[in-house]
Chain A
Amino acid sequence: MFSLKRKKVPSPSVNNDMLSKQRRYDSLVRALHGDLYRYAYWLCGDKHIAEDITQETFLRAWRSLESLKDDKAAKAWLITILRRENARRFERKQFDYSDVEQSELADKVSLSTEDNMEQHLLRRQIARLEVEYREPLILQVIGGFTGDEIANILDLNRNTVMTRLFRARNQLKDMLDDTQTRGHSNG
């Protein structure tokens, strides 16, 4: 008797709300699932875990979609959720997936061309980069965020972010130069 009354009165607006929420969610998924998945992958270093985290993230986003006021902020909002989901993973289990993955990563890619070879090397170096340097770099390069935005997402001060970006590129270059010269001298 309650349910009947409750359902009858507000149904048109509720249906409309549901529809627009659904549409909003759909477009968020379409536009951002790739970036979110990539971010998750570079955060945890495992394809399957990255997929799980992405799913959890979007589910959580669906549940609290009302709290996203400005659609332009959607990407940063989703990344914040994703980072929280990733942190939750460590609360749940103490396995360190990324260690396992980084050593495995080497064998998975076909080394048909020199380009691939280079890219593969670079991926390995990025995976080796400490996460505190890796994260701002990913946010800048894939996410296209400015220093201020990155500072906001990571809850750091802007100068720290810029320093980490500097070190990230610096370390990558060093590591790459290192392996290349070693490769040359070996060859």
Chain B
Amino acid sequence: MDELKFRREAYENPQRRDADFIAAMGESSQRAQFVNDLKRFDNQIEAALNIDVPTGLEAKLLLNQQLHQHQVRRRKMGFTLAMVASVAFVAGISFSLFRLGPVDLGEHALAHVAHETVAMQSSLDISYNTINSQLASLGNFANARFTEQPGRVFFSTYCDFQGVRSLHLVMQGEQGKVTLFIVPIEERMILEQAFADNRYQGEGFTADNAYMLLVAEHHSDIDNIKNEIQQTFI
């Protein structure tokens, strides 16, 4: 290794350990001295570069990260909260809009009968006067009433037809019980003449200013009760 290359390599890195460099260094005591001087100089540089680190920097770095993490978590929390709130809001809005939408009376009547099992098991005997007073309190048709007992009435209660207060009666037919819904007329209601599911059949008609919905297992019962109601209900 010539002198120039040796000096250059020493300047590039006096600490180097590769065989070529070590061998070149061993060639003369001057070279060894030269490298030693440079090493000492490097130590000086290192000491000079080694400035004091501010006390507490380490703690600051850790704290900084913790605060950052905390903020991120809070931001995430806020986001989730906003999401939940908006979902609840949309649910609320759509639910109230749903209630304003058209109501299929037939379908609702079937569902109501299927769910309210208590009504079918009731064995009371309710007089038409009681029913009339219930009808009167429905508001919309103060004049509507039964003129005489329309057969045996097992059950009579108010019920909710998608937000409309109605009357729910269970009456005795020839072959089984017949459910009658008396629903005040409202614009958004859709009345079907006939409806059915696997078990029940139903019929709807308008009487005075109310929708009458009859639901029974046998069609003949519906016809009978329908006749009876048309005679007794004004």
User: Chain A interface (Cβ within 8 Å of chain B)?
Assistant: 1-3, 25-26, 29-30, 33-34, 37-38, 41-42, 47, 51, 54-55, 58-59, 62, 118-119, 122-123, 126, 137-138, 140-142, 147, 162, 165-166, 169-170, 172-173
Contact = CB atoms under 8 A, between A and B. Distances in A.
B230 interface: no
Given A119-B47, A141-B46, A142-B50, A54 B11 contact: no
Contacts of B47: 119
B54 interface: yes
B94 interface: no
Nearest to A26: B62
Please provide the 10 A-B residue pairs with the shortest distance between their CB atoms, ordered closest to farther.
A3-B80, A122-B48, A166-B11, A162-B12, A34-B53, A165-B12, A123-B48, A58-B61, A29-B61, A169-B11
Given A37-B54, A173-B41, A165 B13 contact: yes
Given A33-B61, A172-B41, A172-B45, 17 more contacts: A2-B80, A3-B83, A3-B84, A29-B65, A33-B53, A37-B57, A38-B50, A51-B57, A58-B65, A123-B51, A126-B45, A126-B49, A141-B46, A142-B46, A147-B12, A162-B12, A169-B42
Contacts of A172: 41, 45
Interface in B10-54: 11-13, 38, 41-42, 44-51, 53-54
A58 B59 CA distance: 12
Contacts of B199: none
- Most central of A2, A25, A58 by chain B CB within 10 Å: A58
A142 B57 contact: no
A172 B38 CA distance: 11
Contacts, number: 87
Nearest to B65: A62
B59 to A, nearest CB: 9
B62 A29 contact: yes
Contacts of B53: 33-34, 37-38
A59 B54 CA distance: 18
B64 interface: yes
A142 B84 contact: no
A29 B58 contact: yes
A55 B13 contact: no
Interface residues of B, number: 30
A79 to B, nearest CB: 14
A35 B25 CA distance: 31
B115 interface: no
A50 B65 CA distance: 17
Contacts of B13: 140, 147, 165
Interface in B44-92: 44-51, 53-54, 57-58, 60-62, 64-65, 68-69, 80, 83-84, 87
Contacts of B80: 2-3
B46 A122 contact: no
B65 A166 contact: no
B58 A170 contact: no
Contacts of A54: 57, 61
Nearest to B80: A3
Nearest to B7: A166
Contacts of B51: 38, 41, 123
A123 B49 CA distance: 7
Nearest to B38: A169
Contact of A47 (B42, B48, B54): B54
Contacts of B60: 51, 55
A142 B58 contact: no
Contacts of A34: 53
Nearest to A123: B48
Contacts of B46: 141-142
A142 B11 CA distance: 16
Contacts of A37: 53-54, 57
